[in-house]
Amino acid sequence: MNDPAITGAEFLSPKDIRRLQQQRWSVQVAYVSARSPFYQQAYGGIEIPGRLDDIEALPLTDKEMIREDQRLNPPFGSYLACEARQIRRVHRTSGTSGIAMNLALGEADALMTASVAGRAQSAAGLGPGYRVVHCLNYQLWMGGYSDHAGLEATGATVVPYGVGNTRQLIEVIRELGIDAISCTPSYPKVLEGVIEEYYPELRPGDLGLRLGLFGGEPGLDEPAFRRRLEETWGFSARNANFGVSDVLCNFAAQTEQCEDLHLLACDVLFPELVDAVSGRRLPWRAGERGELVLTHLAKQAQPLVRFRTGDIIDLVATDTAACGRTAPRFRVVGRSDDMVVVRGLNLFPAMIGGVLHGFTELSGLWRAELDAPPPYDYLPIDAELARPVESTAGLAGAIEAEIKARLGARARVRLLEAGSLPRTEGKARCVFRTYE
């Protein structure tokens, strides 16, 4: 299979994109039908439609199905469609929502991953002349080396720092004149703590970072959180790294002109929306909310058909954006497995974080421990203070009232001392189900 990436595909007209999608699916469907034991068994002899318009008739694939397939057929599962000797790179998922998965990339897959990730980082503003430090985990996780390759594809100079030794990172940024950082949205808070402890003469803005490229966690779409980041650090903060490890590491980003995520991989992925509960297909049109489902159009190693990502999105627009890109724009509401139902209301961590970030007395770090299965009458929230204070009288009640007013749900808020919640250099979690 040839390298499927096309430079500038995010600027193609919808008609040209649709034509390209169908061309690639015609090849991919024959490949999957002939080479994927997983789908041969899953579809029980049902012929996979050769027209994209008809794949709605196929059952959906979900994470549990391919996780179980890998357990029964280690190490890569029977959905591995290429020969083992054709695998060029292996990664693992982070395992934050279950057992980690082994991800195999063929040569064409690796090229496609870097090319599409480069589109996303470029759309967010990175390019030649920037010196970017990459602070995601390089130890097998897809977000380390694969995202590094995407950063390089923009033409920027990439410094592969990884995670850990945050104090030394401060020195590296100053010594090398680094002006952009790629990390999770929660990591700047870790950096701020190190600066405060070891470099009291410095402020975060003194480091000279001009661009913050974030991914791996929710939160950046919340205006209050982004505003705090930009005011504290003096950089432009953008969600530049949205992806699904099992599908494509990074395929969506915000741009300099628009805060909505642009789906920049429609030449190699076919997107659908489905109802998260029933699985019923929803129209692909602006204003719809549903679970994002993706189908590979040009995947060599582990092709997936109608894969449920678990991400609940609002499809904002499908016309041409101000930046000239024709890529569909969307916003992430949350993950279906992170959703908490409180008296019939669907709540996601990003929604809770959006309320908490509006209180300057709070650090922005919080957690909710659920010690029993649903239903829930209220959401228990432990919220950390930003700094020691003499009195917090009325603050918890004010936060509870704001959550009720904005989200319609009851909460019981407990305030924690500053610095009491753990800082993480990897993915941060907010909702913990301790009864599982």
**Higher-pLDDT residue of 74, 436:** 74
Phi then psi for residue 332, to 5 deg, are: -90, 125
pLDDT of residue 98: 56
* Confidence band, pLDDT 50/70/90 cuts, at residue 363: confident
pLDDT of residue 4: 43
Report how far residue 37's alpha carbon sits from residue 51's, in angstroms, rounded to the nearest whole number: 21
Model confidence pLDDT, tens digit, residues 70-92: 999 999 999 999 999 999 999 99
Model confidence pLDDT, tens digit, residues 366-382: 999 999 888 899 999 99
Q: What is the average pLDDT across 198-211?
A: 97
Model confidence pLDDT, tens digit, residues 278-315: 999 999 999 999 999 999 999 999 999 999 999 999 99
340-433: which CATH architecture? 2-Layer Sandwich (3.30)
Residue with tokens 């008609």: 15
pLDDT of residue 3: 42
Model confidence pLDDT, tens digit, residues 228-262: 999 999 999 999 999 999 999 999 999 989 999 99
> Quick one: what percent of the chain has pLDDT higher than 90?
75
Looking at every residue in the chain, the average pLDDT score rounds to 92
**Sequence spans of domains, the chain:** 1-334, 340-433
> Quick one: what percent of the chain has pLDDT higher than 70?
96
Report how far residue 18's alpha carbon sits from residue 27's, in angstroms, rounded to the nearest whole number: 15
Neighbours of 417 (CB within 10 A): 11
Check whether 331 has a pLDDT greater than 70: yes
| Nearest of 61, 95, 91, 93 to residue 78 by alpha carbon | 61
* Confidence band, pLDDT 50/70/90 cuts, at residue 96: low
Which of 225-251 are b and which e, b meaning 16 or more Cβ less than 10 Å from the residue's Cβ?
A: bbebbeebbbbbbbbbbbbbbbbbbbb
pLDDT of residue 7: 64
Check whether 211 has a pLDDT greater than 70: yes
Q: What is the average pLDDT across 110-131?
A: 97
pLDDT of residue 433: 86
pLDDT of residue 6: 55
Model confidence pLDDT, tens digit, residues 417-434: 988 988 765 566 788 888
Q: What is the average pLDDT across 134-142?
A: 92
Edge-to-edge strand list for the sheet holding 379-385: 411-416, 379-385, 362-370, 431-433
Report how far residue 311's alpha carbon sits from residue 330's, in angstroms, rounded to the nearest whole number: 11
Report how far residue 62's alpha carbon sits from residue 238's, in angstroms, rounded to the nearest whole number: 29
Phi then psi for residue 398, to 5 deg, are: -65, -40
**Higher-pLDDT residue of 79, 46:** 79
pLDDT of residue 1: 37
Q: Which CATH superfamily is domain 1-334 in?
A: ANL, N-terminal domain (3.40.50.12780)
Instruction: Retrieve residue 158's tokens.
Output: 């990439």
Instruction: Retrieve residue 200's tokens.
Output: 């009291």
Check whether 56 has a pLDDT greater than 50: yes
Q: Which residues pair with 370 in a beta bridge?
A: 433
Check whether 20 has a pLDDT greater than 90: yes
Check whether 391 has a pLDDT greater than 60: yes
User: Are the CB atoms for 51 and 45 separated by under 8 Å?
Assistant: no
pLDDT of residue 436: 62
Q: What is the average pLDDT across 349-363?
A: 87
pTM: 0.84
